[in-house]
């Protein structure tokens, strides 16, 4: 798989998916009334757009997994270095959630 060095944003993914949808719609229109070269050209364009979108989605997924792992590691390290603060924060969050539930 090709390495994507640029940061993928939500807007870029949405734009790429919109291109794929537009190409798929064009493919459907082309298959309804035409065959041959016109169909092959539209199909090739749709496949290329889909390939780019899949590549960017894969890169975004990898980046998200990396960020999640880094956050989990940082949290684990903090809890090991500051166990009593972590217990205090957990207790406070639990108390707050309990109070919110009790109000209902």
Least confident of 20-29, 78-87, 94-103: 20-29
Rounded Cα distance between 2 and 84, Å, is 45
- d(CA 62, CA 71) in angstroms, rounded, equals 14
Query: Exposed, middle or buried: residue 46 (CB in 10 Å: 0-12, 13-18, 19+)?
Result: buried
Overall pTM > 0.75: no
Q: In whole angstroms, give the CA distance from residue 84 to residue 86.
A: 5
- Mean pLDDT estimate for the chain: 78
pLDDT digit string, tens, across residues 9-57: 766 776 777 787 777 777 767 766 666 777 677 777 777 877 777 777 7
């Amino acid at each position: 798989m090709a390495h994507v060095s640029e940061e993928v944003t939500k807007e870029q993914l949405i734009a790429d998916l919109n291109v794929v949808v537009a190409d798929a719609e064009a493919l459907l229109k082309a298959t309804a009334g035409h065959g041959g070269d016109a169909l092959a050209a539209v199909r090739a364009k749709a496949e290329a757009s889909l390939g780019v979108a899949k590549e960017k989605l894969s890169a975004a997924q990898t980046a998200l997994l990396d960020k999640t792992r880094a956050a989990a590691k940082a949290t684990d390290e903090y809890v090991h270095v500051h166990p009593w603060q972590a217990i205090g924060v957990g207790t406070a969050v639990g108390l707050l959630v309990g109070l919110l539930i009790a109000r209902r």
